[in-house]
Amino acid sequence: MEKMIVEGGRPLEGEVVISGAKNAALPLIAATLLAPGVHVLRNVPDLRDTRTILSLLDELGATWRRDGGTLFIDSSSIAYTEVSYDLVKTMRASVLVLGPLLGRLGRAKVSLPGGCAIGERPINFHINGFERFGVTCHLEHGYVEALIDGRLQGTTVYFDIPSVTGTENILMAAVLAEGTTILRNAAREPEIGNLIDMLVGMGAEIDGKGSSQLTIRGVDQLQPAEIEIIPDRIEAGTYLIAGAAAGGEVTVRDCRPEHLPALLDKLAESGARVTVGERSVTLCLEPRDRNRLKGVDIKTMPYPGYPTDLQAQFMALMTLSNGMCVIRETIFENRFMHVAELRRMGADIRTEGNNAVVTGRGPNGLSGAPVMATDLRASSSLVIAGLAAANRTEIARIYHLERGYENLVAKLSGLGASVWKEKA
Nearest to 130 by CA among 168, 163, 149, 157: 157
Q: For this structure, is 116 an active site residue?
A: yes
Whole-angstrom Cα distance, residue 327 to residue 312? 9
Nearest to 174 by CA among 210, 213, 142: 213
For 63, left (φ over 0), alpha (ψ -120 to 50), or beta? beta
> pLDDT by residue (tens digit) across 171-192?
999 999 999 999 999 999 999 9
Q: What is the pTM of this model?
A: 0.95
> pLDDT by residue (tens digit) across 347-360?
999 999 999 999 99
> pLDDT by residue (tens digit) across 145-168?
999 999 999 999 999 999 999 999
- Structural domains of the chain ordered from first start: 2-19+231-423 (3.65.10.10), 22-228 (3.65.10.10)
pLDDT at 102 over 80: yes
pLDDT score at 1: 84
pLDDT at 87 over 80: no
Annotated binding residue 220 = no
Annotated binding residue 421 = no
Cis ω on the peptide bond leading into residue 304 (within 30° of 0)?
yes
What are the angstrom distances between the C-alpha of 218 and each of 36, 179, 182, 185, 199?
A: 17, 5, 11, 20, 11
* For residues 238-264, average pLDDT: 98
pLDDT score at 94: 82
Going by pLDDT thresholds of 50, 70 and 90, the confidence category of residue 17 is very high
Q: What is the mean pLDDT of the chain?
A: 94
pLDDT score at 120: 44
* For residues 215-232, average pLDDT: 98
* For residues 35-42, average pLDDT: 98
Annotated binding residue 309 = yes
> pLDDT by residue (tens digit) across 272-290?
999 999 999 999 998 888 8
pLDDT at 118 over 50: no
pLDDT score at 88: 73
Q: Which of 116, 137, 255, 325 is catalytic?
A: 116
Nearest to 219 by CA among 206, 238, 204: 204
Whole-angstrom Cα distance, residue 41 to residue 29? 8
Percent of the chain's residues with pLDDT above 70:
97
Annotated binding residue 22 = yes
Annotated binding residue 92 = yes
Of how many residues is the chain composed? 424
Strands 82-83 and 107-111, bridge-based pairing: parallel
The alpha helices in 134-189, defined as continuous H runs, are 164-174
Instruction: List the strands of the sheet with 136-140, edge to edge.
Output: 82-83, 107-111, 143-147, 136-140
- Report how far apart the first and last C-alpha atoms of the chain are (Å, whole number): 6
Going by pLDDT thresholds of 50, 70 and 90, the confidence category of residue 414 is very high
DSSP state of 177: S
